[in-house]
Amino acid sequence: MKILVTGREGQVARSLAERGSAHELVFAARPDFDLADAGSIARTIENARPDLVISAAAYTAVDQAEDEPELAMAINGEAPGHIGRAAASVGAPVVHLSTDYVFDGSGEHAWREEDPTGPIGVYGRTKLAGEQALAASGAAHAIVRTAWVYSPFGNNFVKTMLRLAESRDALNVVKDQYGNPTSALDIADALLAVAGRWQDAPGHGTNAVYHFAGTGSTNWADFARAIFDSSRKRGGPSCEVTGIPSSDYPTKAQRPANSRLDSAKFADTFGHAAPRWQESLDATVARLVG
Ligand SMILES: NC(=O)C1=CN([C@@H]2O[C@H](COP(=O)(O)OP(=O)(O)OC[C@H]3O[C@@H](n4cnc5c(N)ncnc54)[C@H](OP(=O)(O)O)[C@@H]3O)[C@@H](O)[C@H]2O)C=CC1
Ligand SMILES: Cc1cn([C@H]2C[C@H](O)[C@@H](COP(=O)(O)OP(=O)(O)O[C@H]3O[C@@H](C)C(=O)[C@@H](O)[C@H]3O)O2)c(=O)[nH]c1=O
């Protein structure tokens, strides 16, 4: 299958490069492919004529988005519509990644796909707009919301914690935001499961929203402790973690307190579930400190 992946250096794009060797992968990235430039999106997809588009690139700087709402909206909110229209014109379905930050963070349950959205920051608002733009584009699609992504690649919380531990003995980390840490390598496997399913059964489960995230939930402070436990047992850096309320860690963008995702619908539809988050974390830490 010829799969066009948006972004080349992103965590999910690099994970697809590692896991997707059974397919012909084509990566669309700046400067030729710019999500802020509708013409470049149409040109790239029409020239490549892929069998499937995986829409993995996005504006992911959550705090910076508060200062650049127009750019974040162009990239996250409008580009998925352009991608969908171009993909529809060549008959390619689109798998698009979205986020737990489309929810308002209330309650303690794991969010299901049909639960009402209510983003509390610019990043979440723009990602929600992107879901809607793709759904209205005419392309066959699946929207896959994931969360708290880490990997050996790019920037993420796991790498930040390990870096900070090189120079600190103790760290304050928020303990009142809950979610599902998700390995980008597990996301790549899940997206490839969708691709495989569509090869055998085109149209299966299309035009729907799914949640796919690491199995089991935690908060950022306990996630940090798990990172350091895993690192320490391999002789890597580690650090004391003090759990603090979010009010003691001011950030430009507010994060949802509860962004746990229920991934049952994805497992039922595509026959694929994520490993427990601790297991995937261990595999990534082994690569980072090994
Ligand atoms: N990271 C996370 O914790 C989570 C991510 N998601 C979603 O999953 C998807 C993948 O995330 P992840 O792999 O972590 O993302 P990364 O932040 O690792 O990578 C984002 C990619 O998007 C590219 N990009 C940004 N702006 C543009 C643009 N204008 N034109 C073309 N490419 C652009 C970047 O390119 P360049 O290298 O040139 O900067 C980069 O390759 C995104 O849709 C994200 O919203 C969902 C939940 C959690
Ligand atoms: C570095 C650091 C962060 N924190 C807090 C801030 C924040 O509440 C939480 C996580 O920090 P980050 O900046 O990594 O998180 P953030 O950028 O909000 O991560 C989000 O990224 C986007 C793209 C998503 O889609 C989300 O699913 C989520 O993964 O930890 C501390 O409490 N102490 C620290 O030392």
Give 180-222 pLDDT, tens digit per residue.
Answer: 999 999 999 999 999 999 999 999 999 999 999 999 999 999 9
* CATH code for the domain in which residue 126 is found: 3.40.50.720
Mean pLDDT in residue range 135-157: 98
Structure confidence at residue 231 (pLDDT): 98
Residue 249 Cβ inside 6 Å of ligand 2? The answer reads: yes
Decide: helix, strand or coil at residue 122: helix
Distance between CA atoms of 144 and 15, rounded to whole angstroms?
16
Residue 290 has pLDDT above 90, yes or no: no
Over the Cα atoms of the chain, what is R_g? 18
The answer to whether position 227 is within a domain reads no
Structure confidence at residue 16 (pLDDT): 98
Split at pLDDT 50, 70, 90, the class of 270 is very high
Residue 255 Cβ inside 6 Å of ligand 2? The answer reads: yes
DSSP state of 51: S
Structure confidence at residue 196 (pLDDT): 97
Tally of domains within the chain: 1
**Which CA distances in Å does 74 have to 50, 88, 123, 147?**
24, 20, 11, 22
Instruction: Answer whether 249's CB lies under 8 Å from 174's CB.
Output: yes
- Computed over every residue of the chain, the mean pLDDT equals 98
Estimate the crossing angle of helix 38-48 against helix 79-89, to 10 degrees. 30
The answer to whether position 290 is within a domain reads no
The answer to whether position 246 is within a domain reads no
Instruction: Answer whether 258's CB lies under 8 Å from 105's CB.
Output: yes
The answer to whether position 54 is within a domain reads yes
Ligand sitting nearest the alpha carbon of 8: 1
Residue 160 Cβ inside 6 Å of ligand 2? The answer reads: yes
CA-147 nearest atom, ligand 2: 27
Q: Taking phi first (over 0 means left), then psi (-120 to 50 degrees means alpha), and beta for anything else, what does residue 138 get?
A: left
What token pair was written down for 244? Answer: 């603090």
Q: Which of 60, 82, 146 to mutate to test the pocket of ligand 1 (most atoms within 8 A of CB)?
A: 60
For 82-111, write each residue's pLDDT tens digit: 999 999 999 999 999 999 999 999 999 999
Tell me the CB-side half-sphere exposure of residue 183, using CA atoms within 13 A: 24
The CB density around residue 118, as the number of other CB atoms within 10 Å, is: 14
Instruction: Answer yes or no: is the ipTM higher than 0.90.
Output: yes
Domain limits for position 147: 2-156+181-217+259-275
Lookup result for tokens 């999500």:
35
Distance between CA atoms of 48 and 28, rounded to whole angstroms?
10
Please give the full DSSP string across 158-207, using - where no structure is assigned.
HHHHHHHHHH-SEEEEESS-EE--EEHHHHHHHHHHHHHHHHHSTTTT-S
Instruction: Answer whether 197's CB lies under 8 Å from 250's CB.
Output: no
Distance between CA atoms of 76 and 28, rounded to whole angstroms?
16
Mean pLDDT in residue range 167-178: 97
Residue 136 has pLDDT above 90, yes or no: yes
CA-127 nearest atom, ligand 1: 45
State the catalytic residues: 123
**Which CA distances in Å does 218 have to 149, 157, 222?**
13, 14, 6
The answer to whether position 234 is within a domain reads no
Structure confidence at residue 80 (pLDDT): 99
For 38-51, write each residue's pLDDT tens digit: 999 999 999 999 99
C-alpha of residue 60 to centroid of ligand 1, in Å: 5
Mean pLDDT in residue range 141-162: 98
Structure confidence at residue 235 (pLDDT): 96
The CB density around residue 251, as the number of other CB atoms within 10 Å, is: 12
